[in-house]
Amino acid sequence: MQMIAEWVIRLGAFLGIFAICAVVEWWRPKRTWRYARVRRWGINLGITLLNGLLARLTIGAVAVTAAIWAQQHQWGVLHQLPVPEPLLWLIGLLLLDLAIWLQHLATHHIPLLWRLHRMHHTDLELDVTTGLRFHPIEIGLSLLYKALIVLLFGIDPWVVIAFEVILNAFAIFTHANIRLPSALDRRLRILLVTPDMHRAHHSIHPDETNSNFGFFLSIWDKLFRTYTVQPRDGHLQMTIGLKEFRDEARLNFMDLIKIPLAPLSPLQPDISDESEARDG
């Protein structure tokens, strides 16, 4: 029953958030569209459909399954702490978000993982579909990684489900081409990642790409000094993507699936062009 509820909740939240953000970015876009959206949406949604099918047919619910097992066997660090249950839920949520932040950091600094993750960064534009553009192998590794974190700490199943909903929602929201009022953006990013904050992470400048790794909470980038306040070229003029992948014609569905085999250009900070926008 819980597995069915997890699937229904996640799908319903995904469709709702996607629709809302798609309408808002059409009504109030931050940047002028530079590339044809029909082609990009077809590719990105095709990748999303493939990932969803593969996950459902293999290990899609492994994190929730791990949480249920840990709860039944009182396994994990959190089950040993004599603290109120609501506090355990909060700790579990924070641990999961930190774990995803560390995972994202690793995908930028471990060459094998970067081979997979760069699919996400090859998008030449940012919108609601970019947050869904991940290589199937990276999705599989991420699911296993989250399951291990859940087992290690014994995180409550409903906290895992809530986090998955939040993660999916913020992946869509933070990549959306939405123009938020500057004052609202400043207030939100005290605690949360906003589209403007995450857009800097998709800059063509490596030092900016190697910053703002958060998906949900902004606190980790500030705490670990990987926070970039604004992209040096400005949000309206900045170039999105990677220097070695600029040919739109060579970024089709099959090219992206085969991208782990493409020559590797290590993502290193651009020391000669240090960002003045860096907060750390």
**Residue 278 domain flag:** no
Beta bridge partners of 228: 278
Q: Which domain holds residue 178?
A: 2-273
**Residue 138 domain flag:** yes
**Residue 232 domain flag:** yes
**Residue 76 domain flag:** yes
pLDDT (tens digit, 0 to 9) for every residue of the chain, 280 residues total? 455 566 777 788 889 999 999 999 999 999 998 888 899 999 999 999 999 888 877 776 899 999 999 999 999 999 999 989 999 999 999 999 999 999 999 999 999 999 999 999 999 999 999 999 999 999 999 999 999 999 999 999 999 999 999 999 999 999 999 999 999 999 999 999 999 999 999 999 999 999 999 999 999 999 999 999 999 999 999 999 999 999 998 999 999 999 999 988 755 444 334 434 444 4
**Residue 137 domain flag:** yes
**Residue 131 domain flag:** yes
**Residue 81 domain flag:** yes
Total domains, the chain:
1
**Residue 279 domain flag:** no
